[in-house]
Structure 1
């Protein structure tokens, strides 16, 4: 397609000039590399970070500025004209067709490349000054060794971004602070480990990423099983494999036991709801032969809601039973060693 051809032309023209600290949508680079680079800089003493938030970046890219930047390296007017047409492609909102005056269209092979080219202009500022930073698409952290230096760097770079690139910084979401588990970059936080008189920094799964995981699992494991049990199980397992693949390097440094327990409780709830009558619950629990009949009877005939019952049912519907039914856990997916994904965000089901 025309988009693929344009994407290839731009990639070949700009790849040699992109910053070594830029990791998004580039060959042989990915999110894991970016996260490792953050840890490397932290271990060198750059523990103050500017978490830069560009307000609605993909919607606010200035077409004139982008075309000006492109024209400096792309001398073929036909290519520039095609890119202009791509940027001005009609979008339909509320039934009305309009040609956007700012922003880059999302979706398709061409989409991330013009944005990366414009942000490469931003990358030049810290690169030329020897300032450490790490960028994946519009997700960027700039580093310093002290709070004072971090504020000084921010003042300088923010002026350039707003006055030269015509982009807006979301000042409410942009923050300056010491690297920690609360720092969020590509879904990870960062933890300092003191080991044999040496300091190491490692990635961990950020709390917001854990919350998003639970939100997604709630959707995938609808208690009513509208897609049927086997289809639900398959979609759940596929998603969890991808999620574990992406977060593997963070899972290694933090416990996910609390979420695995929550997942098992969620699965128990599915079956307790599926066995609608108390008598059916009792018979099905008895068949598992993991506990005495009296306990099975108490759980089955309890007046508690299914979610509360699911907590006590762990003595009967054990994690071994759940695994035997074919449901994966984070721990199992991690230990089996599924091939890592390399995406900026975890895969969705």
Structure 2
């Protein structure tokens, strides 16, 4: 309880002393003169009205704008005095960590670490538009319970009702508290104090940092109950949780809190924030000199050191940031040297030892690090072109290695009479009793049976299920079976999937799949069109016209209100796409045939789709979601239509691209009696395997397509669970 009276709280001496905290703030000198004269104190006592707030906006990390308000320097001083008095006088709940002395974000993280040692499930929640949604009337009821002097309450009320000037327009304030105001943090904590205490009485362990909260539980059912209780208490305060940021999660599955990803005992920066940290470093030093870059990096690292350095369980992300900083500095040194801005090594060292990085603390360490950076920069200047060549060669070698790795890790059985079994830790393939292939089982990731008359031992199947090695079966370019490991899945997850399928969000997911497919179709045509601009002008012009039409259909697709309409747009675009496909391969009369395809090209496409079908199915199975609840394709008895959905995203950039590549590079694809020849199957298989293993640009990085397939399946499961808002399908670049 704040028992101190108004006249004890405010004095000219206290006002001037607090004003010194805002010495660099605009209006400081005028405020000092007014306060020193005693005029400001007199106005406080006799009828003070604060100056209007100044409104402005800043960008959030998600691209949205956060509305903020800035008070005059005199208002900040008054609010600071009240804020400090309240913080000293009012005892808040121990599990509330924001805007409090002796608390803070690091302690909130450590408390979270402590709780997840005892609990295996959490409910994560974030109040929707917290500061702007606070009910002022209910807040005043709270203040009357903790502040004795009504004059102080009246003063706070003036700040609550204070108007804001934005773009020369006066805006009244009838709801919420201003974000950016000095008093708002402590008022927000007081407003939620009854909420905290109610949870405490219910025996719920939680951690709250402003409007960001975690509720801990022994199991998912209890976590859900805790979240429901919290929602009820919050409703009494006219507040709600944001749907897009509230979810249930197991500790093993992982959850995000305060910019961190908690998973098991591991704590790291969530990937999106980590990528943004790296991007910020690059972007904000891009046009800066070496000296100014180091100044920025020092400020940047101060935040890293004070938070992430203390809370991350594994420092690999920090090491990556340190390496990224080194790369930036090497480029800056090289640029300064080439432009003759700096010529002497001694000057470079003088500047570089001013870097306050995460590892080099002593003077000797700093100098040694500076020397190493200078050597790297000078070498990059001397070997600029050779380095570019070496980089390209290494990337080529990397791709080649990954491609060979996937080939050697997959056993393909394509002849009648083969027998595959397990012997002494090795997979053994025999043909009529003769051993023709052996592979250590820990090297193998997949077995593909492509013909009838192949036998498998039960011991092999058992070991493959233990090691999560899938066995795929393909016949006449169609997948017909798969042996995979047994994965116990949650019925609750399947119900969530069914609910999503029948909701607007489910349609949004279907739309995202079609959007990705359309973009991939357009991008693939663009990719091959650009190589025909000078050599095949007539083909290029036809492709360009089709691209324009396809892009028009893709734009119209946004108007689709249901799945049939969506499929209508998809069908229209696909007609144009296959027309382009025929032009690219030099078969202008080509027609796409899916069932009982009579020609080798269609059979090749069907075989390629079958080849990636099982990979998509495996990826979906691993997430535990139901293969029979699809968003795009109609349900069909005994057909995993969700696999059909997800395969749509990968057809063009994995299969179509490779078939075009084979045909346009002079290799023939042949069939005999409705079946592809063994030679054709071998060529297609190897090309698609190589494509699956090729690092591809996706979401600020390079990933193998097999990895992207797994990530897309995981992303879809996160949308179903409510961990992620929207699904975004993979789009290959051209």
Structure 1 contact 187–208 (Cα < 8 Å) conserved: no
Per-residue CA deviations over 1:172-201 (Å, capped at 9, x if unaligned) read: 221111125842222222243xxxxxxxx3
Q: Report what 1:339 is aligned to.
A: none
CA–CA distance in structure 2, aligned partners of residues 291 and 138 of structure 1 = 46
User: Does residue 1:299 correspond to 2:384, yes or no?
Assistant: yes
Q: Report what 2:97 is aligned to.
A: 23
Residue 303 to residue 80, structure 1, CA distance change in 2 (3 Å) = same
Choose which of 108, 111, 122 in structure 2 pairs with 1:37: 111
CA–CA distance in structure 2, aligned partners of residues 158 and 89 of structure 1 = 30
- Which blocks of at least 5 consecutive residues in structure 1 are unaligned? 193-200, 313-349
CA–CA distance in structure 2, aligned partners of residues 220 and 43 of structure 1 = 39
User: Does residue 1:165 correspond to 2:250, yes or no?
Assistant: no
SS of residue in 2 equivalent to 1:172: helix
Q: How far does residue 276 in structure 1 lie from its aligned partner after superposition?
A: 5.8
Q: How far does residue 238 in structure 1 lie from its aligned partner after superposition?
A: 2.5
Q: How far does residue 203 in structure 1 lie from its aligned partner after superposition?
A: 3.1
Q: Report what 1:236 is aligned to.
A: 297
Q: Report what 2:273 is aligned to.
A: 209
Residue 121 to residue 291, structure 1, CA distance change in 2 (3 Å) = closer
CA–CA distance in structure 2, aligned partners of residues 136 and 153 of structure 1 = 17
- Which blocks of at least 5 consecutive residues in structure 2 are unaligned? 1-76, 349-372, 396-734
Structure 1 contact 203–250 (Cα < 8 Å) conserved: yes
Q: Report what 2:711 is aligned to.
A: none
Choose which of 301, 308, 320 in structure 2 pairs with 1:247: 308
Structure 2 contact 121–219 (Cα < 8 Å) conserved: yes
User: Does residue 1:188 correspond to 2:260, yes or no?
Assistant: yes
CA–CA distance in structure 2, aligned partners of residues 43 and 300 of structure 1 = 53
CA–CA distance in structure 2, aligned partners of residues 248 and 24 of structure 1 = 19
Residue 75 to residue 143, structure 1, CA distance change in 2 (3 Å) = same
SS of residue in 2 equivalent to 1:184: strand
Q: Report what 1:72 is aligned to.
A: 145
CA–CA distance in structure 2, aligned partners of residues 184 and 231 of structure 1 = 34
CA–CA distance in structure 2, aligned partners of residues 173 and 66 of structure 1 = 25
CA–CA distance in structure 1, aligned partners of residues 105 and 378 of structure 2 = 49
Choose which of 328, 343, 350 in structure 2 pairs with 1:266: 328
User: Does residue 1:220 correspond to 2:284, yes or no?
Assistant: yes
Structure possessing the higher radius of gyration over alpha carbons? 2
Q: Report what 2:216 is aligned to.
A: 143
Structure 2 contact 334–378 (Cα < 8 Å) conserved: no
CA–CA distance in structure 2, aligned partners of residues 42 and 252 of structure 1 = 14
Q: Report what 2:251 is aligned to.
A: 179
Structure 1 contact 53–170 (Cα < 8 Å) conserved: yes
Question: Structure 2 length normalisation: TM-score?
Answer: 0.36
Q: How far does residue 202 in structure 1 lie from its aligned partner after superposition?
A: 4.9
Residue 80 to residue 265, structure 1, CA distance change in 2 (3 Å) = same
Q: How far does residue 130 in structure 1 lie from its aligned partner after superposition?
A: 0.7
Count matched residues: 289
Residue 181 to residue 260, structure 1, CA distance change in 2 (3 Å) = farther
Q: How far does residue 121 in structure 1 lie from its aligned partner after superposition?
A: 1.7
SS of residue in 1 equivalent to 2:208: strand
CA–CA distance in structure 2, aligned partners of residues 150 and 171 of structure 1 = 16
Question: Structure 1 length normalisation: TM-score?
Answer: 0.72
Structure 2 contact 223–248 (Cα < 8 Å) conserved: yes
Task: Supply the RMSD in Å over aligned alpha carbons.
Answer: 3.4
CA–CA distance in structure 1, aligned partners of residues 377 and 203 of structure 2 = 65
Q: How far does residue 49 in structure 1 lie from its aligned partner after superposition?
A: 1.1
User: Does residue 1:128 correspond to 2:204, yes or no?
Assistant: no
Per-residue CA deviations over 1:216-250 (Å, capped at 9, x if unaligned) read: 2123312x32xx32122122123213312211133
Structure 1 contact 220–236 (Cα < 8 Å) conserved: no
Q: How far does residue 109 in structure 1 lie from its aligned partner after superposition?
A: 3.4
